[in-house]
Amino acid sequence: MPVSRRSFLQTAALAQTSPLPSASPNDKIQIGVLGAGARSHELMQRLLELPAAKIVGVCDAYSGRLTRTVERVGKQVKTYPSHHELFADPSIDAVLVVTPDHWHRDMVLEAFRRGKDVYCEKPLTYRSSEGPEIIAAARQTKRILVVGSQGVSSETQRKAREWIRSGRLGRVTMIRAAYNRNTASGAWIYPIPPDASPKTVNWDLFQGPAPRRPFSLERFFRWRCFEDYSGGIATDLFVHLCTTIHYLMDAKMPSRVLAMGQLYRWTSSRDVPDTLNAILEYPEGFTVNLSSTFNNQFSSEAGFHILGTEGTITLGDGLSFYAEHAVEDNRWIVESWPTKLEQEYYRDPKVRESEMPHSGPSRLQAISEHYRATGSDPTLNHLSAWLEAIRTRKPPYEDAVVGHRAAACAHMVNRSVKTRALVEWDFARDDIKS
């Protein structure tokens, strides 16, 4: 349930004095898991590969997920009837919050109050206003929080960031990024377990701070389709894109956002758009075009296109760089002048050096490079960085501030879609302008 300011302040001081996980390399960090759906099982599988971690507890509103967690991790995993009981266990050092979005704020704040470090799947927030509250709580309690948008822990994104910082692309003024799908599963219409019923699904535990609704297996297992629990495409997919863009460009937040979205195809299964387009303008000096549809998966439109004056990066299935080979050619203009003026124009050495085909090859060579990462996947890297931060108390890149701002981009997009208006960011308040 929502955490009041008074309740938080009363327990924050206790959290500051809670013992930190041992720095001994022989001790494992004891982890509890809140929410054991499909993404959570991917995270748990990766944690099992990391010797520094031990999964000891799990809580979920569907009993079948608890059963599968014990099958996957081992009988030593304790199941808890609610997150409150899991948080109360002093043997648990840290938690994975892998619940529907509407639960993130309450669970993160309670984890801080209980002295637990947190890995929270993106988006960090369900509403933009929750971000500053979470940031303040993390600082006050000195808890580690990492947000799970794992792309920034990939070798390809690190290489792309290196290229951009080196100036290799020249001045970047436009970025295009897209996430497209064309399947029912890609549109979040997931299969529902045949044993799912009011006996195996704790509907009240799932709803939590959300509006009261009648029992619905569709809402429970396909919660991303409903705005009571999710921000749809923007919070599920655009958050990944914005996290990467902020990382690559050392950017904070867009100053203005304008977006449009519609529900065209999957009309009987959701109340959030299946097609979304947005324009984000950044004060750092570039514009972003974001797009996503669940009605086509044309591959060349997926990923990132980072456009600079001297080169382009494409980032998706690997990383590629393409040098610009722009050439001035004013011939069609000059040929309309009097002959004498045309001839004088081409006698100018600066013109001869800069224009083709009159002066030989371009100064910019058509160079391209292509990379494909091998080795550890980004999720494993991201979780490893979280565990290291818990031991060293030095948070990695994707902390509460970074997570808040990436999620806030999505909230700006959704507000623009709903209001059919331009939405602005208040940098002083670190929140959307009211």
Residues 137 and 190 in one domain: no
Q: Residue 213, Cβ neighbours under 10 Å: how many?
A: 13
**Of 55-69, 206-220, 318-332, which gets the smallest average pLDDT?**
318-332
What distance in Å separates the CA atoms of residue 318 and residue 337, rounded to the nearest whole number? 49
Q: pLDDT tens across 319-342, in order?
A: 999 998 888 889 899 999 999 999
Res 88: pLDDT: 97
| Contact criterion met (CB below 8 Å) for 399 and 131 | no
Residues 107 and 208 in one domain: no
| Contact criterion met (CB below 8 Å) for 381 and 354 | no
| Contact criterion met (CB below 8 Å) for 235 and 243 | no
Residues 177 and 302 in one domain: yes
Residues 87 and 39 in one domain: yes
Residues 194 and 145 in one domain: no
Q: Round the CA-based radius of gyration of the chain to a whole number and report it.
A: 25
Res 366: pLDDT: 57
Q: pLDDT tens across 265-303, in order?
A: 999 999 999 999 999 999 999 999 999 999 998 866 679
Q: Where residue 353 falls among pLDDT bands split at 50, 70, 90?
A: confident
What distance in Å separates the CA atoms of residue 25 and residue 30, rounded to the nearest whole number? 13
In a domain, 354, yes or no: no
Q: Residue 189, Cβ neighbours under 10 Å: how many?
A: 19
Mean pLDDT (the chain, rounded): 91
Residues 66 and 146 in one domain: yes
The number of C-alpha atoms within 13 Å of 217 and in the hemisphere containing its C-beta is: 11
Residues 145 and 178 in one domain: no
Q: Where residue 349 falls among pLDDT bands split at 50, 70, 90?
A: confident
In a domain, 196, yes or no: yes
In a domain, 192, yes or no: yes
Residues 41 and 181 in one domain: no
The number of C-alpha atoms within 13 Å of 24 and in the hemisphere containing its C-beta is: 4
Q: Residue 244 maps to which CATH number?
A: 3.30.360.10
Residues 166 and 300 in one domain: yes
Residues 6+ apart with CB under 8 A from 264: 274, 275, 295
Report the number of distinct structural domains present in the chain: 2
Residues 139 and 167 in one domain: no
Q: Residue 83 maps to which CATH number?
A: 3.40.50.720
Q: Which domain holds residue 121?
A: 5-152+379-399
Can you give the pTM of this predicted structure?
Answer: 0.90
Mean pLDDT is highest, among 76-90, 317-331, 348-362, for: 76-90
**Which has the closest alpha carbon to 186: 266, 101, 97, 299?**
266
In a domain, 295, yes or no: yes
Mean pLDDT throughout 239-257? Answer: 98
What distance in Å separates the CA atoms of residue 338 and residue 378, rounded to the nearest whole number? 62
In a domain, 357, yes or no: no
Q: pLDDT tens across 94-114, in order?
A: 999 999 999 999 999 999 999
| Contact criterion met (CB below 8 Å) for 237 and 261 | no
Residues 160 and 148 in one domain: no
| Contact criterion met (CB below 8 Å) for 56 and 182 | no
Q: Tell me the CA distances in angstroms from 85 to 57, 58, 68, 100, 206, one per residue in order.
A: 10, 10, 20, 19, 16
In a domain, 274, yes or no: yes
